[in-house]
Amino acid sequence: MSDWMTLLEVGGPLAALGGGAAYARTRHPGVYWSTVGLPLSAARLLGSYGSVMEACGLTVQPSRLRALAVRATTRREVRPVPPRRGTIRPTSTGLRLRLRLAPGQDPADVAASAERLRHAWGVHAVYVRDVKPGVVELRLVGFDVLRKVRMPRRSGGGLLRVPVALREDATAFVSDYRAIPHQLTLGATLSGKSMYLRHLVVGLAPQPVALVGIDCKRGVELAPFAARLSALATDPEQAAELLPVLVKEMEDRYDLIKARQGIAPSTPDEEITSDIWGLPDIERPVPIVLFVDEVAELFLVATKKDEERRDEMVTQLIRLAQLGRAAGIYLEVCGQRFGAELGKGATMLRAQLTGRVCHRVNDEASAKMALGDIAPEAVMAACSIAPERPGLAVAGDTSGGWSRIRTPYLSLADAAQVCRESAHLVPAVPALSRFRPYAPVQQVETSSPVVCPHPATD
Ligand SMILES: Nc1ncnc2c1ncn2[C@@H]1O[C@H](COP(=O)(O)OP(=O)(O)OP(=O)(O)O)[C@@H](O)[C@H]1O
Ligand SMILES: [Mg+2]
């Protein structure tokens, strides 16, 4: 009987702890990491650092002086030396650690061993980043951060910089219009393109930026943000009226820059090297971000008559993409496919859109349209995105690399609320005022009765 009691007293709490840990690991991986995973992985790393580095071929022969010193002071065998390790810095999603490479070692050698290091230290993934010559940073990620996305607290936002998604190495993916002025987001239907757009709108809403939308799905994606939009076109006819106004606005801005520089107004636009950011604050026109959802709708025509309008719109979009940056006009284009089959001008416009984000696609050709010129592995990664994970995408980097990203979930109602709250920030762009969408003013709740009481006697 007493044996049973002892077993229950010891085994019960142990089983409860084990069960709790298993539950936390699947349902709350962040909590599991902070309480169990982090100490375990740190202990593994500290205990096995030298042997793991040796097994991965990341050690070098010790210098002759060191070998002599070891022989003179101890009787131990002289072992190869691993890269010098910095302090371990724990984070809420993993661990960070800097390594000083030995002469002759290459960051690519460490990167090539990332998979082996991840197994040796029992973490979800290991990423290697070049910090400065001779120093690399190992980023150990404790769990799959893209399963339930939570953006890091400090994610590097700013004017025209929107932390829009999370990278698989738990850093924020920032859409920076001043670094990458025009972006193309591709993906099959229900892959999460509009969610991506939603985050951009919400991120830009509190900033001094004019937001312009072209949403040929009759405005179902962008109309909820009407309160914060300076202009909205919900079909190709309206887009055909809006685009020339934007091109004219761009030309006026070039004239403004030219006037400031003292250049004759007859100088061709292409020869102006400066941009609106060189103008004094008081004169600088407000930046404009143009969102185009379902871009293919602008290209598709049913009749011969529409063809002329289509060609004009495509030319105007190409001009905006070509010359817009210096005038502070940026493009964010979304679509399901964007290939040569859309007709004249499609590939030319695509080539102008530097930033590439590819959500789940139905075929390899669509992934190639977005990422083909970045890397073949990026195309393969985009093709293997599962439909159960909407919002997951492959993003091309400015450095020529790529990474998996995922947007956090944001409901349309919450996004629309942010836009309503920042409605007073809509900047004055007179040229766009006639395209300003109608946004009903939000009812302000008051405690006064709806029906005025009448006195009982007159
Ligand atoms: N990051 C995310 N996390 C969770 N759910 C998401 C995420 N992104 C998108 N979704 C969900 O996936 C569904 C499709 O998203 P979305 O409307 O953005 O896709 P889409 O690519 O714009 O589709 P379509 O081409 O039909 O417009 C929505 O129900 C949305 O709530
Ligand atoms: Mg959509």
> Residue 176 has which token pair?
């920076």
C-alpha–C-alpha distance, residues 359 and 405, integer Å: 9
- pLDDT value at position 404? 94
**Of ligand 1's atoms, which has the minimum distance to the CA of residue 411?**
31
- pLDDT value at position 342? 83
Question: Quick one: angle between helices 412-421 and 193-204, nearest 10?
Answer: 20
Class of domain 161-435: alpha beta
HSE toward the beta carbon, residue 282, CA cutoff 13 A: 1
CB 136 within 8 A of CB 129: yes
Residues 6+ apart with CB under 8 A from 206: 418, 422, 425
Give the residue whose CA is nearest to atom 29 of ligand 1. Answer: 190
- Choose which residue among 145, 151, 190 to substitute to test ligand 1 binding: the one with the highest number of ligand atoms within 8 A of its C-beta: 190
| Domain extent listing, the chain | 16-141, 161-435
Q: Mean of the pLDDT values across residues 9-30?
A: 72
Torsional sign, CA 365, 371, 375, 377: negative
Give the residue whose CA is nearest to atom 13 of ligand 1. Answer: 190
Exposed e or buried b per residue across 104-143, where buried means at least 16 C-beta atoms within 10 angstroms of its C-beta: ebebebbbebbeebbebbebbbbbbeeeeeebbbbbbbbb
- pLDDT value at position 144? 92
* Percentage of the chain lying above the pLDDT 70 cut: 88
pTM of this structure: 0.86
Q: Mean of the pLDDT values across residues 241-266?
A: 86
> Residue 152 has which token pair?
């890091």
Q: Mean of the pLDDT values across residues 148-168?
A: 89
CB 258 within 8 A of CB 275: no
**Of ligand 1's atoms, which has the minimum distance to the CA of residue 407?**
1
Q: Mean of the pLDDT values across residues 394-399?
A: 78
Q: How far is the CA of 359 from the centre of ligand 1 (A)?
A: 10
- Choose which residue among 173, 191, 336 to substitute to test ligand 1 binding: the one with the highest number of ligand atoms within 8 A of its C-beta: 191
Average per-residue pLDDT for the chain: 86
CATH number of the structural domain 16-141:
3.30.980
- pLDDT value at position 21? 66
pLDDT in tens, 94-109: 999 999 998 888 899 9
**Of ligand 1's atoms, which has the minimum distance to the CA of residue 217?**
27
Q: Mean of the pLDDT values across residues 431-441?
A: 84
- pLDDT value at position 29? 84
HSE toward the beta carbon, residue 113, CA cutoff 13 A: 17
* Helix boundaries (H) for 81-208: 107-112, 114-121, 193-204
Residues 6+ apart with CB under 8 A from 347: 339, 340
- pLDDT value at position 268? 65
pLDDT in tens, 197-222: 999 999 999 999 999 999 988 889 99
Whether 444 shows a pLDDT value over 80: the answer reads no
- pLDDT value at position 77? 73
Give the pLDDT band of residue 24 (cuts 50, 70, 90): low
Whether 247 shows a pLDDT value over 90: the answer reads yes
Give the residue whose CA is nearest to atom 7 of ligand 1. Answer: 391
Whether 439 shows a pLDDT value over 60: the answer reads yes
- CA distances to 74, 114, 264, 358, 379 from 164, rounded to whole Å, are 55, 27, 41, 14, 21
- Choose which residue among 151, 195, 196 to substitute to test ligand 1 binding: the one with the highest number of ligand atoms within 8 A of its C-beta: 195
pLDDT in tens, 119-137: 999 899 999 999 999 999 9
Give the residue whose CA is nearest to atom 14 of ligand 1. Answer: 190
Exposed e or buried b per residue across 357-383, where buried means at least 16 C-beta atoms within 10 angstroms of its C-beta: bbbbbeeeebbbbbbeebbeebbebbb
Q: Identify the residues whose C-beta falls under 6 Å from ligand 1.
A: 187, 189-195, 336, 390-391, 406-407, 409
Backbone angles phi, psi at 370, to 5 degrees: -90, -40
* Percentage of the chain lying above the pLDDT 90 cut: 54
164 alpha carbon, closest ligand? 1
C-alpha angle 32-92-193 in degrees, rounded to nearest 5: 100
Q: Mean of the pLDDT values across residues 58-75?
A: 77
Q: Mean of the pLDDT values across residues 319-330?
A: 93
Whether 265 shows a pLDDT value over 90: the answer reads no
Q: How far is the CA of 157 from the centre of ligand 1 (A)?
A: 23
- pLDDT value at position 2? 63
Give the residue whose CA is nearest to atom 24 of ligand 1. Answer: 189
Q: How far is the CA of 190 from the centre of ligand 1 (A)?
A: 5
Q: What is the DSSP letter of 443?
A: P
Lowest mean pLDDT among 44-48, 261-265, 375-379, 384-388: 261-265
C-alpha angle 149-151-153 in degrees, rounded to nearest 5: 150
CB 426 within 8 A of CB 225: no
CB 437 within 8 A of CB 235: no
Which long-range CB contacts under 8 A does 130-135 form with residues at least 24 apart? 131/98, 134/100, 134/101, 135/98, 135/99, 135/100, 135/101
Place of tokens 């810095």: 89
- CA distances to 23, 41, 149, 152, 409 from 389, rounded to whole Å, are 22, 28, 11, 20, 11
- pLDDT value at position 446? 44
Q: How far is the CA of 395 from the centre of ligand 1 (A)?
A: 17
- CA distances to 107, 269, 332, 457 from 329, rounded to whole Å, are 39, 15, 10, 66
> Residue 309 has which token pair?
């309008």
Q: Mean of the pLDDT values across residues 170-184?
A: 93
- Tell me if residue 267 falls in helix, strand or coil: coil
Q: How far is the CA of 166 from the centre of ligand 2 (A)?
A: 20
- pLDDT value at position 264? 64
C-alpha–C-alpha distance, residues 87 and 180, integer Å: 35
HSE toward the beta carbon, residue 144, CA cutoff 13 A: 10
- pLDDT value at position 267? 63
- pLDDT value at position 241? 93
Nearest-10 Cα torsion for 174, 177, 181, 185: 40
